[in-house]
Amino acid sequence: MQILFIYFMISSEIYWFPLSIEMAQEEGSSSVSSSPLQMFSMMSLSPGLGSPYPWLREMKSEERGLCLIHLLVVCANHVSSGSIENANVSLEYISHLASPVGDTMQRIAAYFTEALADRVLKGWPGLHKALNSTKITCVADEILVHKLFFEFCPFLKLSYVITNQAILETMEEEKVVHIIDLNSFEPTQWVTLLQALSARPQGPPHLRITGIHEQKEVLDQMAHRLNAEAEKLDVPFQFHPVVCRLENLDTESLRVKTGEAVAISSVLQLHTLLAVDDEMLQNKTANAAHLQRVLQMNTHTLGEFLESPDSASSSPKFSASSHKMISFLNALWGLSPKLMVVTEQESNHNGLSLMDRIMEALNFYAALFDCLESTVPRASIERQKIEKMLFGEEIRNIIACEGVERKKRHEKLDKWISRLELAGFGKVPFSYHVMLQARRLLQSYNYHGYKIKEENGCFMICWQDQPLFSVSAWRFRQYR
Ligand SMILES: *[C@@H]1O[C@H](CO)[C@@H](O)[C@H](O)[C@H]1NC(C)=O
Ligand SMILES: *[C@@H]1O[C@H](CO)[C@@H](O)[C@H](O)[C@H]1NC(C)=O
Ligand SMILES: *[C@@H]1O[C@H](CO)[C@@H](O)[C@H](O)[C@H]1NC(C)=O
């Protein structure tokens, strides 16, 4: 029997929730029981008591929270072992407790159950497609919800401040600077940089920003805003839009010229390139063929290839980083960047086992939902939008999608460090001044509960003591 402690924060209070997981022989069929919660178990929730369970209304938030975690884990086990009838029963129980407008755990439960049900339904492609047939994916909404996330939580602001300060310090002596923004949708970051550059004692450099985004309109707006600001500040400036999905980016289109000092800004983007056809990679035949091909390549690529996305998992090591990631990092390396700042989610949502991913996601998103709970009223429509369209969609992607569809393959900093080092980048520790700027931002906005910690010369942005986002700085190394 393996005892697993999950660390949850519900309404800023910390709960240690002990779960005893009895691992069965076969993977995915582990059963979960938790002794302190026996009273909430299936017996007391049995429909025999009669719907709608009058005692549920009297349940306090913490009790309900613990009960929901328990039920979610039970349900996740049923889904991952393919036991659909049992999953149906636990989803039914959870539906009486979960709510997208309730407290933190009720909201989390609503999105996790939706994702779990979505995964089950994918087993019936006809049903799944019919339920999805009128869904409209609206890019304007996606942009809106990212802007709301930028406004309501300090994470993106911190990432931008840290990135900008590192750029200013690295480019202090440079006269021609080229910044490549891998996800160009928020002009505020670059407006602030333009202002800082125009105040440089030695005068501003010639600045060129290449913005990458799949929507032309988004880049048009960026260009408009940044050109106006640069003109006002009298900074020699050019905005170069590249309409493209990151995975299809051809670095030739970035038009990097000799003599330019290049800086790359990547905010929550790199992990999307890890999306691989798991099924093919898990296919032993395919693995053998792959390995054979890799053995004919150089050792650097082999090392990268053998690096597992989930060291805790006992699954074959061959699933590794995708070739897409390797070639993308190689292409960036080829631009000889003076600086590359990478912000990523600090969680492992790229495990091969569904249960691992669900437990990691519960831990990570519980903290994110709690950030909103601590600052935004429950009835806020904006909050519901962030939860549904941003966090909810990410949870759904992590749980319900597989293969190339599964893009939210967040990985922890240690993985990024070894991957980027293998690709020929050297880590650049942030200066004390960068830390100072970040702390100042937290103070000026009166953000409580957030912390910035230094780890190996990189930064962790934390909610309470839980690291949620990592920011690391890199530069081109001559010899790989
Ligand atoms: C699903 O669960 C509910 C509630 O326990 C039950 O009434 C229903 O019969 C189940 N459906 C199937 C198809 O098993
Ligand atoms: C659901 O519908 C949207 C919009 O039509 C589409 O882009 C998406 O691929 C569909 N998802 C699935 C899993 O069929
Ligand atoms: C897996 O291997 C089998 C046996 O060689 C092959 O028929 C099948 O096409 C492979 N599947 C994939 C997804 O590569």
Q: What is the residue with the minimal CA distance to atom 1 of ligand 2?
A: 132
> Does residue 378 sit within a domain?
yes
Same domain, 180 and 214: yes
What ligand is nearest to the CA atom of residue 75? 1
Residue 92: CB within 6 Å of ligand 1? yes
Of the residues 369, 386, 405, the one at which a domain ends: 405
Same domain, 382 and 444: no
Lowest mean pLDDT among 177-181, 184-188, 287-291, 395-399: 287-291
> Residue 461's domain is classified under what CATH number?
3.40.50.150
Residue 280: CB within 6 Å of ligand 3? yes
> Does residue 324 sit within a domain?
no
Residue 89: CB within 6 Å of ligand 1? yes
Of the residues 405, 423, 445, the one at which a domain ends: 405
> Does residue 467 sit within a domain?
yes
Of the residues 405, 424, 440, the one at which a domain ends: 405
For the segment 232-287, what is each residue's pLDDT rounded down to a tens digit? 999 999 999 999 999 999 999 999 999 999 999 999 999 999 987 666 555 554 56
What ligand is nearest to the CA atom of residue 95? 1
Same domain, 416 and 398: no
Task: Tell me how far the alpha carbon of residue 288 lies from the centroid of ligand 3, in angstroms.
Answer: 11
Residues 6+ apart with CB under 8 A from 161: 192, 437, 438, 441
Lowest mean pLDDT among 55-59, 139-143, 265-269: 55-59
Same domain, 205 and 280: no
> Does residue 140 sit within a domain?
no
**How many Cα neighbours within 13 Å face the side chain of 87?**
20
Per-residue pLDDT, 45: 46
Per-residue pLDDT, 294: 56
> Does residue 144 sit within a domain?
no
Residues paired with residue 209 on neighbouring β-strands, in sequence order: 179, 239
What is the four-CA torsion angle of 245, 275, 359, 63, rounded to 10 degrees?
30
Q: Which of 42, 92, 96 to mutate to test the pocket of ligand 1 (most atoms within 8 A of CB)?
A: 92
Same domain, 246 and 99: no
What is the mean predicted confidence (pLDDT) over 319-338? Answer: 85
> Does residue 105 sit within a domain?
yes
Residue 137: CB within 6 Å of ligand 2? yes
Measure the CA–CA gap between 60 and 449, rounded to whole angstroms.
Answer: 24
164 has a pLDDT exceeding 60: yes
Surface-to-core class of residue 147, CB atoms within 10 Å of its CB (0-12 exposed, 13-18 middle, 19+ buried): middle
Average pLDDT, the chain: 83
Q: Which of 88, 94, 121, 124 to mutate to test the pocket of ligand 1 (most atoms within 8 A of CB)?
A: 88
Measure the CA–CA gap between 337 and 177, rounded to whole angstroms.
Answer: 11
What ligand is nearest to the CA atom of residue 288? 3
394 has a pLDDT exceeding 60: yes
Same domain, 242 and 94: no
Residue 35: CB within 6 Å of ligand 3? no
The answer to whether the CB of 42 falls within 8 A of the CB of 50 is no
Q: What is the residue with the minimal CA distance to atom 6 of ligand 1?
A: 89
Closest Cα partner for 140 from 204, 211, 221?
Answer: 221
> Does residue 145 sit within a domain?
no
Per-residue pLDDT, 54: 52
Per-residue pLDDT, 283: 56
Task: Tell me how far the alpha carbon of residue 135 lies from the centroid of ligand 2, in angstroms.
Answer: 7
93 has a pLDDT exceeding 80: yes
Task: Tell me how far the alpha carbon of residue 283 lies from the centroid of ligand 3, in angstroms.
Answer: 6
State the residue range of the domain holding 281: 275-318
Same domain, 266 and 279: no
What is the four-CA torsion angle of 245, 246, 249, 252, rounded to 10 degrees?
120
What ligand is nearest to the CA atom of residue 127? 2
Task: Tell me how far the alpha carbon of residue 354 lies from the centroid of ligand 2, in angstroms.
Answer: 22
Lowest mean pLDDT among 22-31, 66-75, 166-175: 22-31
What is the mean predicted confidence (pLDDT) over 322-338? Answer: 92
Which percentage of the chain shows pLDDT scores above 70?
Answer: 78
Same domain, 363 and 336: no
What is the mean predicted confidence (pLDDT) over 78-93? Answer: 94
Domain count, the chain: 3
Same domain, 342 and 224: yes
Residues 6+ apart with CB under 8 A from 311: none
Residue 84: CB within 6 Å of ligand 3? no
Same domain, 384 and 429: no
What ligand is nearest to the CA atom of residue 287? 3
The answer to whether the CB of 341 falls within 8 A of the CB of 162 is yes
Same domain, 336 and 465: yes
Same domain, 112 and 7: yes
The better pLDDT of the pair 139, 263 is held by: 263
> Does residue 14 sit within a domain?
yes
